[in-house]
Structure 1
Amino acid sequence: MTIRVLVADDQSLVRDGFAAILRGPADIEVVGEAADGEEAVARARELVAEVVLMDIRMPRLDGIEATRRLCGDPAWKGRVIVLTTFDADELVWDALHAGASGFLLKTTTAAELVGAVRVVSDGTALLAPEVTGRLVREFMHRPRPGGPAPELTQLTDRESDVFRRIAEGRTNHEIADALHVSESTVKTHVNRVFTKLGLRDRTHAAIYAYESGFITPGDRRDPP
């Protein structure tokens, strides 16, 4: 099975470069390109793209709003990686809250870009290392919520354990080792957590966990 990718950027040289990199691996297929946000939304739906590389700053419709429209469409099951030359915090927040599953700077290497497509396609969170530290610092300076989100009461104790480790960035394998269960059992718990809390993927699980006060930076229970 190949991962169907759409490249959206208003600069043709950038689109061509990303497309050329992604045409190399056998497990990735570049199904199309888009020069603005409106075209990106239309082509992602038409071509059934599984991953969209989305530039933030584009004409007609910016990448954040295009991401919001795609990820808010229940008929579209793909994921978005936002690419930008700007690493300002507000752009990170806007992109993630719009529904992006990953965030990379355009200075990323070819190998990192290919890896990002694979990781996000698999439903795993992806953030540029430069961005991750600032996100944690942002959470640390935010006031704690007054109380936990009511949806959290739906989780069993084991689901809460799994949810906490998802928010810490643990893989299913690492969670299985920490809880002394099989990876298939962890996958079942992860799916139930996502269903109960209405989450798309691990990126949004982490955002939800921090913003609801379920977890705070530095609240790591066991070694990685």
Structure 2
Amino acid sequence: MEASQRSGQTAARYSQVAEAYIDMFGSPEQAEAEDRELIAAWAAKLHGPVLDAGCGPGHWTQFIADGNRPSTGVDLVPEFLDFARRTFQQPDFLRADLAHLPFDGEQFSGVLSWYSVIHVPPSDLPPILDELARVLQPAGKLLLGFFAGDQPEAFGHQVAPAWYWPPAQLGELLEQSGFGVLEVGTRSRPAARTHGHLSAQKLS
């Protein structure tokens, strides 16, 4: 199966649960306080348009826009985009696959990819990271959220199969796509999956 077919299947599964997903995760206030603080601090250092790559219901896109930064969200799930357009007036929202972004190169000062590549198999991930690098300005910043684990390994996510990533190995993939890793962090909770984030900068 081609990567585009896999991403389309994942989007279709999210369409089936979109209403429940929006009820659970459709605003930044429903996220962990640590996530809000991290994303706010990251966005505060940016000077220019920001892309929310895999924006879901658009809540993080609006969160960034509230800091007076032009922001654009892209996603493949029509129901998420419909909700985002109805609910948030400031950002732009477009339907797009992360492997084929509808932008000319080097448009954005920052790209947020917050748990938007967790369903991407390891073989499909490098082209997506290349595409995120392509649309970033020189020295632009990337913030990537993921589930951290000891090895790249699939697990049974409620919507579609998802992947754990060792932070160091994911950082190596970012470096192969032209990034320099700036910060690595993880957060553990009892009886919950370990969350991770990587902050990186485009090197050229």
Q: TM-score, normalised by structure 1?
A: 0.30
Q: TM-score, normalised by structure 2?
A: 0.32
The higher-RCO structure (CA 8 Å, 6+ apart) is 2
Between Structure 1 and Structure 2, the one with more strand by share is 2
Larger radius of gyration: 1
